[in-house]
Amino acid sequence: MPGTRPAETGTVVRVSSGAIALLVLGLGLVAWLSARAKAQAFAGPGKARLHSLPGYHGWYVALWAVIPALLFLAVWSSVSGGLVTASVLDSPAAASLPAEPMQRGAILDEARALADGTQEAAFNPQATALAPEYESAQSRMAIIGTVAALLLAFAGGAFAFTRVSPNFRARTRVERLVMALLLVASLIAILTTLGIVLSLLFESLRFFSRVSPIEFLFGTSWSPQTAIRADQAGSSGAFGAIPLFWGTIFIGAIIAMIVAIPLGLMSAIYLTQYATPRVRSWMKPLLEILAGVPTVVYGYFAALTVAPAIRDFGLTLGIPSSSESALAAGLVMGIMIIPFVSSMADDSIAAVPQAMRDGSLAMGATTSETIKRVLVPAALPGVVGGVLLAVSRAIGETMIVVMAAGLAANLTANPFESVTTVTTQIVQLLTGDQEFDSAKTLAAFALGLVLFIVTLLLNIVALRVVKKYREAYE
Amino acid sequence: MTDTSINDIAAHQRADHRGDERPKMTAQGVSVFYGDKKAIDNVSIDVNRENVTAFIGPSGCGKSTFLRTLNRMNDTIGSARVEGRIELDGENIYSPDMDVVQLRARVGMVFQKPNPFPKSIYENVAYGPRIHGLASGKADMDQVVEKSLRRAGLWDEVKDRLQDSGTALSGGQQQRLCIARAIAVDPEVILMDEPASALDPIATAKIEELIHELRGRYAIVIVTHNMQQAARVSQRTAFFHLGHLIEYGDTSEIFTNPRETRTKDYITGRYG
C-alpha cells in the first residue's frame, strides 16, 4: 500500500509492487471498458460491420496495457534491490564501511532492516548511519518503478487503443495470445521436469566423482555413514546399492505384484463380466476409494497392524522374522496397487469388442470359457501395460516402506526379514541436519536418478504396449 | 428394388428342389421385450430343415432380435425377456432343462460383422471343437479344421498359413472363417445375421455361393436387408415389420405374388 513517512532526508515513498500491479490491472480494466466502448461506437445499424466483437477489442487493448507493465514490474522487482544497494554503496556514508564482505553485508542487512522498519534499533552504529541512505534510495527506486510501470501501461494501452477500428482483427490477435499462454502453461510443466532431471543429474555427477558408478551400481554393501571427523572409527561409508535395488524390487515388483495382479485381475473380471450393473455401480467406486487412501495411512496400517501379525506368524513357523518385514510392506503395497491393476484391466477387457464375446458365446462357450480363452488373451497387452504402470508406481512409493520395511540393507530373499528400499534410503539420507556436499547426502540424488530412470522406462514401455493394443481394435 | 430380376430369380426357384420340409425349429407365439418395450409381438414360424429361410424387413423391424431368440443369444442382454415357446426338434429351448451351451453348439451363429478371435486361423476353427471336446488328439483336430475350412470354401486360400492371425484375413475371408468356425462344431442350424452386409460384392457372392453349398446339410436362417440376396439364397421368406411377422411363405410366392400389401410395398421398394 502506498504510504508516506517523514524522515530526515525528506518524504519517503514506499510502494509495494503488489499495489502497483493492482494499479496496472485497474488501468487494464479502464482500457478494456474504453476500447469496448470505442468499438461499440463503430458498430450499429447502418454503420460498418466490425471484424471482431467489441469484447475482443476490449481484451486486445487491456492486454496491451497490462502485460508489458507487469513484465516490467517482474523484472524491476528482481533488479531494484541490487540497484538500491549499489546506490547506497556510492553514497559518502558508505565510504567508511569495512572492506571485508561478511561484515559489510551484515551492516548493509541491518541498515536495510532499519529502513524497512522491521528493526527498531541497530546493533552497529554504521548501520544507523546508512539507514536514511537506504530509505531514500528505496523510495527513489520505488518512484522510478511505479512511474515506469504506469507509463508503460498507458503507452501500451494508448498504442492499442489507436488501432481499434472496424476492420482491425482484434479477435485473431487475442486468440493468438491465448494460444501463447496455453503453450507457456504446458512448457512450465515440461521445463520443471527438465530442471528436476538436470538437478538430479548434476548432483549425481558430484556423487559419482567421489564414489565410482561401478561400486554404486554393483556393490553389495550399503552403509552410507561417513566420518565427520577424521579420527572417528569405522565409518568410511559403503555405497553399494544392490541391496537397495533388491529390496525395492522384492517389495514393489515381487511381493506387491503377487498380491495385486491376481486380485486386481480377478476383481476386474468379476466387475466387467459377472457383476450386475447395480453391483458394479457401487463396487467399482468403492474399489477406487482404495486408490484415494493417503499412503501414510497405508504406512501405519502396515507398520502397526500387518507387520506384527506377520512377525508372529513367521515366528510360529520357526522362520527368523523381524518386526519390520518385506512381506508386511509388500502386502500392504499390493493392496494399495489393486485399484491400478484392476482399473487398467477393467478398461482393456471392456475394450475387447462385444462381437468377440458374442462370437464365443454363440459357439456354445460358457462365460468363463469366453473369459479364459478370448477376453483375457485379447486384453492381455492392456493388462500388461497396467501392471508395468503399477510396478513403476510401487517402486517409487515411499511412505509404506519408510514406515514398514525397515532400514537394514539386507540382501535376503526371506520375506519375513527386514529389507530397505531406494525411497526409504533417500528419506534417511536427507532427513536431519546434513551437509549437502558429503557423499552421504549426494548418494540420495544418485538413488533418485536411478529410480527416475527406471520408472521413466517402465512408463514408456507400458504406454507403448497399451497404445499398440488400443490401435489393434480401432 | 422392384425389378423383374427378383421375380426371375424367385420364379426360377419354384422349380428348384426344396428339400426336406419337416420343421427343424418351431416358434409359437413368441414375444420379446427389452425392458418394457415390445420388440417382437406374437410371432409363430417354422424353420425347415435342409432349407434356407430368409428374414427380411426394414431396419428395426425385429428380424435380428427374433433370430437371436433361436439360440438364446438374447440371454446376454440383461433387459431382454422372451415369452412364448420355441422348439428345436420338439424340445422347448427356453425350458429350464435346456442347457444353453448345448443349444448353441446345435444352433450356431454368424454375425453381421466378421468377428474372428485374435488367434490363428487354425485356433479360430478349433475353438468350438476344443471347448466341446469334439476332437481327440492333434490329428483328429487337424482333420476337423481342414474339413470345416473346406466346407467354408476357405481351405485353398489359407492352407499354407493356418498359423497366421485370423484378423489378418480380408473381410470376406474373415466371414468365411467365422462360418468355418460355426460349422466346426457340426451344428444342426446355422443362424446368419446379415452375414454379407459388411462385405464387397465379390465377397458377398462367395458367401451366397457358400450358403447354397451348405444348404441341405444344415437348416439355415439368414437375416438380410438385400432382397435380391433373399430371393437368390432362400427357399422360404419371412417378412417382418414393426415387430410383427407380416407374411411367411415360399420365397417364390413372396416375391412374385405377396398376399399382403405391406409385403408388396416393401419388396417393390415403396419403403424400407
Beta strands in chain B (DSSP E): 23-34, 37-48, 52-56, 80-88, 91-92, 107-110, 189-193, 219-223, 236-241, 244-250
DSSP 3-state of B26: strand
In this complex, which of A276, A353, A364 lies closest to B105 when CB atoms are compared?
Answer: A364
Best interface-test mutation with B: which of A276, A358, A363 has the largest number of B CBs within 10 A?
Answer: A363
Q: How far apart are CA A442 and CA A327, in angstroms?
A: 30
DSSP 3-state of A214: helix
Instruction: Return the CA Rg of chain B.
Output: 18
In this complex, which of A355, A363, A378 lies closest to B181 when CB atoms are compared?
Answer: A363
Same domain, A323 and A400: yes
Q: To the nearest whole percent, how much of chain B has pLDDT over 90?
A: 48
Contact at CB, B128 and A353, closer than 8 angstroms: no
End-to-end CA distance of chain A: 60
How does DSSP assign A219-284, residue by residue? ---EE----SSTT-SS---EE--HHHHHHHIIIIIIIHHHHHHHHHHHHHHIIIIIS-HHHHHHHH
Q: Is the pLDDT of residue B223 over 50?
A: yes
Q: How far apart are CA A473 and CA A418, in angstroms?
A: 46
Beta pairing, strands B91-92 & B80-88: antiparallel
Q: How far apart are CA B47 and CA A206, in angstroms?
A: 83
Are B42 and B12 in contact by the 8 Å Cβ rule? The answer is no
Residue A97 placed within a domain:
yes
Residue A48 placed within a domain:
yes
Q: How far apart are CA A396 and CA A452, in angstroms?
A: 8
Q: Is the pLDDT of residue B8 over 80?
A: no
Region for B89 from its dihedrals, namely left if φ exceeds 0, alpha if ψ lies in -120 to 50, beta otherwise: left
In whole numbers, what is the pLDDT of chain B averaged over residues? 87
Listed residues A168, A201, A230: the one ending a domain: A168
Amino acid B1: pLDDT? 43
Contact at CB, B115 and A359, closer than 8 angstroms: yes
Residue A290: give the domain boundaries: 222-472
Are A303 and A324 in contact by the 8 Å Cβ rule? The answer is yes
In the block, residue with C-alpha cell 492371425: B165
In chain B, which residues have their Cβ closer than 8 Å to the Cβ of A355?
A: 111, 113, 115
Q: How far is A302 from chain B (nearest CA, A)?
A: 42
State the ipTM, two decimals.
0.85
Amino acid A4: pLDDT? 42
Contact at CB, A361 and B103, closer than 8 angstroms: no
* CA separation, residue B148 to residues A16, B168, B186 (Å): 87, 19, 9
Whether domain B4-267 has CATH 3.10.180.10: no
What value, to the nearest 5°, has the Cα angle with vertex A225 and ends A302 and A236? 150
Task: State the pTM of this model.
Answer: 0.71
Q: Is the pLDDT of residue B141 over 90?
A: yes
In chain B, which residues have their Cβ closer than 8 Å to the Cβ of A356?
A: 115, 117-118
Beta pairing, strands B52-56 & B219-223: parallel
Contact at CB, A363 and B115, closer than 8 angstroms: no
In this complex, which of A355, A364, A365 lies closest to B115 when CB atoms are compared?
Answer: A355
Residue A182 placed within a domain:
no
Amino acid A51: pLDDT? 82
Strand order from edge to edge, sheet including B91-92: B37-48, B23-34, B80-88, B91-92
Same domain, A114 and A261: no
Give the model confidence (pLDDT) of B85-119 as tens digits.
Answer: 999 988 899 988 888 888 999 999 999 999 999 88
Structural domain count of chain A: 2
Contact at CB, A363 and B113, closer than 8 angstroms: no
End-to-end CA distance of chain B: 11
Q: How far apart are CA A342 and CA A269, in angstroms?
A: 9
Contact at CB, B131 and A277, closer than 8 angstroms: no
Same domain, A131 and A273: no
Contact at CB, A377 and B181, closer than 8 angstroms: no
Contact at CB, B128 and A364, closer than 8 angstroms: yes
- pLDDT tens by residue, chain A, 474 residues: 444 444 444 556 666 778 888 988 999 999 999 988 888 888 777 777 778 888 898 999 999 999 999 999 889 888 888 888 888 888 777 777 777 777 778 887 888 787 777 777 777 777 777 788 888 888 888 888 889 999 999 999 999 989 888 888 888 889 999 999 999 999 999 999 999 999 999 989 988 988 888 888 888 888 877 655 555 555 567 888 888 899 899 998 899 999 999 999 999 999 988 888 899 899 888 888 888 889 889 988 888 999 889 888 888 888 877 788 888 999 999 999 999 899 888 888 888 888 888 999 999 899 899 999 988 888 888 888 888 888 998 988 888 888 888 787 888 888 888 888 888 888 888 887 666 677 788 888 899 999 999 999 998 988 888 777 666 655
Amino acid A5: pLDDT? 44
DSSP 3-state of A445: helix
Q: What is the CATH number of the domain that holds A347?
A: 1.10.3720.10
In chain A, which residues have their Cβ closer than 8 Å to the Cβ of B118?
A: 356, 377-378, 472
Contact at CB, B78 and A377, closer than 8 angstroms: no
Q: How far is A272 from chain B (nearest CA, A)?
A: 13
Q: Is the pLDDT of residue B16 over 60?
A: no
Q: How far apart are CA A247 and CA A230, in angstroms?
A: 32
Q: How far apart are CA A280 and CA B78, in angstroms?
A: 14
Same domain, A418 and A302: yes
Q: How far apart are CA A267 and CA A246, in angstroms?
A: 29
Same domain, A250 and A158: no
In chain B, which residues have their Cβ closer than 8 Å to the Cβ of A358?
A: 73, 76, 109, 111, 115
